[in-house]
Amino acid sequence: MTNIFNEKTAIIRTERGLTFAGTRITIYDIMDYVTAQYPPKWSGGLFDLTEEQINAALAYIEDRL
C-alpha cells in the first residue's frame, strides 16, 4: 500500500493518507496552514520538513484545490 507520489521526496500513500516517508506527518497535517496562507517556510519549520518536502506538498495541494 505504498504508492510513491514523488520519488525525490518520498511522499507515500499509507493507511493514514499521503505521508512523508519516514514520518507520521501527512499532507493533510499541513493543508490547513497552506490554505490559511501561512508562509511555506513557517509550515515546514513547524513540522521539521525539508524545502523539497514542503514544495512537493504544496504542488500536490495546489493541484487538488
- Could you read off the pLDDT of 17-60 as tens digits, one per residue? 999 888 899 998 988 898 899 998 998 899 999 888 888 888 88
Write out the three cell numbers for 45.
Answer: 519549520
Higher-confidence residue: 2 or 49?
49
Provide the pLDDT for residue 46.
93
Write out the three cell numbers for 32.
Answer: 490547513
CA distance 45 to 9: 16
Q: What are the angstrom distances between the C-alpha of 49 and each of 1, 2?
A: 23, 20
What's the pTM value of the predicted model, to 2 decimals?
A: 0.74
Question: Is the Cα torsion angle 39, 40, 43, 46 positive or negative in sign?
Answer: negative
Higher-confidence residue: 4 or 50?
50
Q: Where residue 5 falls among pLDDT bands split at 50, 70, 90?
A: low
For 61, list phi and psi in degrees, rounded to 5.
-65, -45
